[in-house]
Amino acid sequence: MQLRKCFQYWYALLKWIKECLRDCVGTAVYLQKNLPRSNSYHPVSPQCFVRLKRKPMLLLQTVGREILLHLIDHLVTNYGRDPVITRLLNNTRIHIMPTMNPDGFEATVVPDCYYSRGRYNKNGEDLNRNFPDAFENNNNLIQPETQAVINWIKNETFVLSANLHGGALVASYTFDNGNSVTGTSNGYSRSPDDDVFIHLAKTYSFNHASMYKGTGCDSKQTFPDGITNGYSWYQLEGGMQDYNYVWGQCFEITLELSCCKYPPAEQLEKFWRDNKVALVEYIKQVHLGVKGQVTDKNGNPIPNAIVEAKGRPHICPYRTNEHGEYFLLLLPGKYVINATVPGFKSMLKTVDIPDNTANFSALKQDFSFPEVSVKPRPASCPRTPLYQELERSSAAVKPTLHILVLVIVTISILK
């Protein structure tokens, strides 16, 4: 009943809109959020299992703007009618940002398919080149819109994200930038979770009406299975999906949904039909892997504990949120999960992760430490080119990292 009430406000009067920022000319950028539970916090416990915060994030450009309006309508009108949509919304918290760059949208006047003026904000900056970069110094002044999104990412516990664009037809995944540490000498910039990113990209492309065919927009540029590593396509500095993955603990892919950036209005309904199933299936992937809570012996949550899958080290270690919760997107298989709290011996637990996306719940694995008198310090991962520093480190480190990459590739192929 509460969810339906929230939807009524959201759908009819937009009462559940949270203002994220006001850009340089005063146009508001909004976040829309469905609230499948009350504003009070529900800890990770069996009775509240279906209410865990697994929050995808969706951003958009022109075609995507219309597609997501259709998505909101689809979710609202099918809640309580369609069992899949109902379970999805009962178990997933979804945030939608209608636009990150209202300046660019407002500046678009009678565009053609390849009109590009709308990609820049009032200050002439491309916001998808404006984020801190893990591989090289991004000397562009961070824009108000970018800073607001950075703050938003920092204050939430996002797990899965999609960034919708136009101008191509492909699902692109991290890394967009790279160096020798990530294997760019081979024209591919590989993350520690490359297998998961390939799965996420294929989930979208194979549920899309035609993206999976990989034909792209012309015969000169094809994408096998309709996906690509971002760096393999073209190198990009200051992109949002790399920032989200490195600093936000959130797996994001970029979805290019239309060869024509500004198609005729009569084609928008078809774009929605082409993407409807893919969007829902992609959001369901937020329930991949393992989740849980790190607590002391009295059941008090421990924030900022490091929780990682062994053999998949992130340059910024993934940590628990203020409620002691962690979320790791992992494909089905056996893993060793390592939980670390300063002052105590690390706890290792072996888990066998099933494919639970159809049940809308990742595997649950909690960790309980002896009473913690000093809480871990907040995560401190500076906004500097972290992989650049790693590349400069001793030569002895590099072979180990490349061996890790090779092992992950082998596992991915075997699966």
Type of residue numbered 295: T
- Name the token pair of 16: 């559940």
Under DSSP, is residue 272 helix (H, G, I), strand (E, B) or coil? helix
Other CB atoms within a 10 A radius of the CB of residue 403 amount to 10
CB under 8 Å to 397, separation ≥6 — which residues?
A: 390
User: CA of 322: how far to CAs of 18, 158, 204, 256, 292, in Å?
Assistant: 21, 13, 31, 34, 13
The residue count for the chain: 415
Give the DSSP per-residue string, 179-247.
-GGGTGGGT----TTHHHHHHHHHHHHHHSSSGGG---SBTTB--GGGEEEHHHH---SS-HHHHHHHH
| Catalytic residue status for 256 | yes
Q: Residue 246: name the closest of 185, 311, 318, 180 by CA.
A: 318
Type of residue numbered 83: P
Give the DSSP per-residue string, 349-363.
EEEEE---GGGT-PE
Instruction: Give 123's DSSP letter.
Output: T
* Cβ neighbourhood burial of 281 (10 Å; 0-12, 13-18, 19+): middle
User: CA of 319: how far to CAs of 301, 309, 348, in Å?
Assistant: 12, 12, 15
User: CA of 211: how far to CAs of 25, 34, 170, 175, 275, in Å?
Assistant: 37, 28, 6, 20, 10
Helix (H) or strand (E) holding 398: helix 397-414
Of residues 125, 145, 252, 256, which has the active-site annotation? 256
Task: Characterize the bridge pairing of strands 333-340 and 306-309.
Answer: antiparallel
Q: Hey, which residues are catalytic here?
A: 256
